[in-house]
Each structure stands twice: as C-alpha cells, then as structure tokens.
Amino acid sequence: MEILNWMPQRCRYDPENPPNFTLAMNILLAFSGTFTVANLYYAQPILNVLAEEFGVSYERASDIATLSQAGYAVGLLFLCPLADMVPRRPFILFLIWATATMWIGLCVTHNFEVFISLSFLCGVGTVTPQIMLPLVGDLVPAHRRASSLSVVVSGLALGLLIARVLSGIVANFTSWRNIYWIAFGAQYLTLILLFFFLPDYPSKNKGLNYFRVLWGMAVMVVTEPLLTQACLIGFLLSAAFTSFWTTLTFLLASAPYNYSSLEIGCFAFIGIVVVALAPFWSRLITDKFVFLFSVVLGLGFELVGIVISTFIGSFTVAGPIIHAIMMDSGANFTHTANRSNIYNLDPKARNRINTVYMVFAFGGQITGTAVGNRLYAQGGWVWSGGSNIAYIGVAIVIAMIRGPRETGWMGWSGGWNLRRDDIKNREPAVNGNRDIEEAAPRPG
C-alpha cells in the first residue's frame, strides 16, 4: 500500500503554489468518473443473460443490480464523509485499486452467491466520483466552478450511457464475461492515469471524530435552509428521472413499438446530447447568474419535456425522445447548480455536504422506481408521466419559496437581482491556508 502514498513531484501539494485546475485535469476527472460509475450499470442490460449463465430466475438475477446499488449507498453514507478527514489522493487511489482488484472475481467466478457478494462490495468502492466532485469544488475558482463541475457530472452521465450500450452489444455478440474484463482494464487504466496526474490536496479537517461527522450530517439537514432546499429538489428530480427511465423500457417493449432490447438500449445515446450541452450551459448561465436561476430554468426545461411526452408518448416515439433529451439536460443543469450552490456553505465540509445531497438523491431514485412501476402497471404511460409532472411541479415550488440570498427558511430578502455577487473579484480556488487546517506537503 506504500506505493499509493508515493506521488510524482509535480503532484505534490505546495501551499505557496497550489495546483492549477486545467482543462486536461477536468477531462481526466470526467474520464475517471465515467469508468468508475459505469461499474453500477454493466449488469443491467444483461440480467437475462446472467440469469441463464448462473441458472437462476430473472427475479433472483435482479439482485445483482439491487446489491450493486445497495453497496453504492453504503459507500456513499459511510466512506464519502471520510474524504473530509483524510488526504483525498491516496483515498481515491485505494478505493479504485481495491474495487478493480475485487472485480477480477466477477470476471471468473461461476458461483452466483459469490457474484452478488462481489457486486455489493464493488458497489461500495464505486463512490470515488462523489469524492472527486467536492475536490473539483476545492481546486476550481468560483467563477469557473459550475462549468467545471458540469464537465465531471457529464462524465458520470456518459458512464451510464457507455455501460448500458457497450454491455448490451458485447453480450449480444460475444461472451458476457468480456464486458467485465473490459471494465477491469478500464479501472486499472483509470488508476494508472490518476496515479501519475491527480494532484495531492491535504486534509482540511484535522482530528475530526468519525461518528460526530456522521451525526453532523444529520444536523446539517435541519439547520441549513439552503442545503434542505437543494436536497428536496434533488430528491424530486431523481424520482422523476428514474421513474422515466424505468418505465420507458416497458413502453418501448410493448405495442405499438415492440422494440428489441438492443433498440431500447440505443436510447441511451441521447445522453450524448447532455454531455455536449451541459458545459456550455454552465459556462454561459450557471457561472454568471445566481444558482437558483439555473435550477428553475433546468426544472422548467424538464417539465416541458415531461408534459409533451406524457400526452403523446403512447402513440409516437417522438414523445420519449423529447422527454429524454429535455429531462437529461434539465436534470444535469439542476444538479450542477445545486452542487455549486451548496459547496459554498462550508469549504471544509464539502464531502459531507455532497454526501447528504446524494443520500436524498438516492432516496429519490428508489422512490421514483417504485412509484413509477406501480403507476405504470395500474394506468400505463400517462399515469407514470403524471407522477413525474407532480415531482417537478413540487420541486419548482420549493425552489421559488426561498430566494438566492435568503438566509432563513422562506422569503426573498436580499433582492431579485439574478447576477451573482461573488464573482466580481475572481479569486483563486485556493488561497494559502484559507480553508485548510493541514496544508504541509507530505514526505515522498
């Protein structure tokens, strides 16, 4: 493990000359997020193939995806807060190394119980993108934070796209194990690139108690109005997102479409639009205006797509296509603005803040999947679409009852000016030891 603590000279932290966050570094973190978050989605399009391979029912095979997500939730809640207490470079490298090494078992095992157990453990270690996002918030100056975050968030969306499409294609024409070997190689490639290029950044909190950190996250939710507002919006946004993508499979597989699984999987290519548009949106709007403005615009954009799709999606495929483009784009814009906003609450607690936000978002995903499936079974596409309209409608109301400069729980004190107040003087991302308690370079 000592090798993970060693680093090239150019990566070592110097408090007199903090690392510059370049476009190349932004792309590297986005690439890393793509091929780590993809771990959660490789199995989803090939659950039927895995069921046949291991001789289990489709219902039992679905435990693979469920346990992967459950492991991710465990890692999110119990590992991500540690990133506020320890240096993040070795922590990120260790998690990727441990996950990639355990992944070998998924490539070779013929025992279903071993496979699902390893899926859970690999899910736990796949939280590294949620550690990288707060790191971006630390390294990037305020006037570029939203656009830089957007690039990494788009990388996560690309990971979902690549995993589902590549998995379906590879399993369709070769052995399903090949996609797992490809994923193994991608993880070790990510580890190597980060080992040589990820800059060190010291621990910002010295001597924190782990259990007090966990309790502190619960306290944040009831004491920070901005965080509560963002978390509720994130919950509703994620519920609408997963409800759509879950029920879309049922819609396209039935009349009048009757699409094959490969054709349904190709809908994931719509995510390319999101990846292409998100950084430009963030650069032009989110970086220049108050974050609430981008949140409301993103939610409104999404609402229009949902309404159109709900009422025409049953008889023309244009409905789901419009829905997917506008929902993916709106969700990306809103999540990026929310994160950029809440990261300003406490620079020393960005990983804990991000954890709280993601726990709410994950809860929204579970809710959206359960409610969407139930409503689709009872009333079809219109019923599930109606719930999505309700989710986004309530999210807009929550966004509008508290203004961007309001310090309390409700109201618009501070004015209606949409221009941001914090970028008149474009400060560097890190200014000496301003938000770092332990900033001395570690010995090599």
* Helix, strand, coil percentages for the chain (3-state, nearest 5): 75, 0, 25
Q: What is the predicted pLDDT for the residue at 2?
A: 61
Is pLDDT larger for residue 375 or for residue 59? 375
Q: Where are the alpha helices (DSSP H) in 38-78?
A: 47-54, 58-78
**Cα–Cα distance for residue pair 24/429, rounded to 1 Å:** 17
Average pLDDT, the chain: 84
Q: What is the predicted pLDDT for the residue at 438?
A: 41
Q: What is the predicted pLDDT for the residue at 242?
A: 83
pLDDT tens digits, 3-57:
666 777 777 777 777 777 888 888 999 999 999 999 988 887 787 788 888 988 8
Q: What is the predicted pLDDT for the residue at 261?
A: 63
Which secondary-structure segment (H or E) carries 105? helix 88-108
Q: pLDDT at residue 444 above 60? A: no
**Cα–Cα distance for residue pair 37/387, rounded to 1 Å:** 28
**Cα–Cα distance for residue pair 393/389, rounded to 1 Å:** 6
Distances in whole angstroms, Cα of residue 183 to Cα of each of 38, 45, 107:
8, 15, 10
Q: pLDDT at residue 428 above 70? A: no
Indicate the DSSP class of residue 109. Answer: -
User: Is the distance from CB of 396 to CB of 296 less than 8 angstroms?
Assistant: yes
**Cα–Cα distance for residue pair 241/324, rounded to 1 Å:** 9
What single-letter amino acid sits at 92?
Answer: I
Q: Using 50, 70 and 90 to split pLDDT, how confident is the model at 441?
A: very low
SS3 419: strand
Q: pLDDT at residue 367 above 70? A: yes
Distances in whole angstroms, Cα of residue 68 to Cα of each of 51, 75, 284:
16, 11, 37
SS3 402: strand
Which secondary-structure segment (H or E) carries 379? helix 350-400
Q: What is the predicted pLDDT for the residue at 305?
A: 94
Distances in whole angstroms, Cα of residue 257 to Cα of each of 64, 152, 275, 294, 399:
28, 35, 27, 35, 37
Q: pLDDT at residue 360 above 70? A: yes
In terms of Cβ atoms closer than 10 Å to its own Cβ (0-12, 13-18, 19+), residue 340 is buried
Residue 317 tokens read as 């495929």
> What is the arithmetic mean of pLDDT over 405-432?
69
User: Is the distance from CB of 147 to CB of 332 less than 8 angstroms?
Assistant: no
Q: How wide is the angle at C-alpha 63 spanned by C-alphas 106 and 83, nearest 5°?
A: 70
User: Is the distance from CB of 238 to CB of 362 less than 8 angstroms?
Assistant: yes
Residue 391 tokens read as 């989710």
**Cα–Cα distance for residue pair 342/346, rounded to 1 Å:** 8
Q: At what angle do helices 291-312 and 350-400 cross, to 10 degrees?
A: 60
**Cα–Cα distance for residue pair 359/337, rounded to 1 Å:** 17
Residues listed for the chain = 444
Q: At what angle do helices 88-108 and 128-139 cross, to 10 degrees?
A: 160
Is pLDDT larger for residue 436 or for residue 158? 158
pLDDT tens digits, 184-232:
999 999 999 999 998 887 777 667 788 888 888 889 888 999 999 999 9
**Among the listed residues 390, 396, 382, 334, the one whose alpha carbon sits nearest the alpha carbon of residue 361:** 334
Q: What is the predicted pLDDT for the residue at 370?
A: 81
Which secondary-structure segment (H or E) carries 381? helix 350-400
pLDDT tens digits, 316-326:
999 999 998 88
The model carries a pTM of 0.78
Classify the phi-psi angles of 269: left when phi > 0, otherwise alpha if psi is within -120 to 50, otherwise beta: alpha
